[in-house]
Amino acid sequence: HGFFLQHGALLMEFDPVRTCAVVLPHRDREEQARRLRDAVTSVGEQAGRPVDEETLCRALWKGFEQVLGIRFEEGKLTPEEEELKRELMTKKYGRESWTKEGEKAWISGL
């Protein structure tokens, strides 16, 4: 259909100790932090320096254009896309249950 969807997360920075404190409050945090440190990376870690959001967005824009052989054009969302955005932010991504439990919590709330 001529569309591209990236589904996932790009971590700008990553602190395994802090992540374990939030996600695994009752487990062996030191061991889990070590495992996360070995398994997870971030944009800043790979770049060898902090990378701000604007720099990352420009790099992704340019990289996709080069790899896909296309030129992006800035534009605005359609009214339907704006409505969908508002609905998703209100009913899904803006809820603490989505952050903590993901899709399962959202589906059970329908």
85-110 pLDDT, tens digit per residue, is 999 999 888 888 877 777 666 566 65
CA distance 71 to 65: 6
pTM greater than the 0.85 cutoff = no
Domain residue extents for the chain = 8-73, 76-110
6-59 pLDDT, tens digit per residue, is 678 899 999 998 888 887 767 788 888 888 899 999 999 999 999 999 999 999
Q: What is the DSSP string of the chain?
A: -------S---SS--HHHHHHHH-TTS-HHHHHHHHHHH---HHHHHTS---HHHHHHHHHHHHHHHHT---------HHHHHHHHHHIIIIITSHHHHHHTHHHHHHT-
